[in-house]
Structure 1
Amino acid sequence: MTMVHIEHEIGRYMILCEGHSADEKCCNYITGVMYAFGGYVKNMEAEGECEVYGFEIDDGAPRFLIHCGGDERIEAAFIAACIGLKQLEDPRPDAICVHVKEN
């Protein structure tokens, strides 16, 4: 199962995914969501529009961490990634568990 921990404060966004999912399709879905968000964050960082506090991809663990700060564009991408992960959790609770820490 993939455990997802999400944190959000004003201007700061973090998604941590750990563990393998129930099957390859679910893993691919989660990976796609995280790579899309991660790619956007890295592009925004390169343009000086985002600050990255932590960015880890460890296929062996498996672990994927994106921790960043930015404006409403980063927030919108973060929300889209969170929605994508939550949408998988509804039909596949055996594959992913999403925990959102409210601040």
Structure 2
Amino acid sequence: MKNNFFKFNKHDFYLGFKKAYNLSLLPPKLEAIHTHLITRVFRVIGGFCIVLVIIGKYLLFIEEIQIIIIIIALSHSIFITLFSIFKFTYGLYLIVFKPEIFEVRD
């Protein structure tokens, strides 16, 4: 007797992967904030500042710039943490209350 439960189908896998990749885990208003141009620039600069703080190279700058780098790095880490929490909770909300979004059909 052949078990078809574990049969792998490439087409279904690609459809599921495409659906999961295109699914947004942020509410529409937060998604608009997250993809805004100014927010994107802040994310790049904030990420650069976090790297500078982690590796300790921010100490090469003058004291005023060091303070600015630390403030930007701290605000960026808070921003990323909050958005990660929002993504996690909204993802759980979608899984529990809207499972039809995750259905893959031809």
Question: Normalized per residue, which structure has more strand?
Answer: 1
Question: Normalized per residue, which structure has more helix?
Answer: 2
Larger Rg computed on CA atoms: 2
Larger RCO: 1 or 2 (CA < 8 Å, sep 6+): 1
Normalising by structure 2, we get a TM-score of 0.35
Normalising by structure 1, we get a TM-score of 0.36
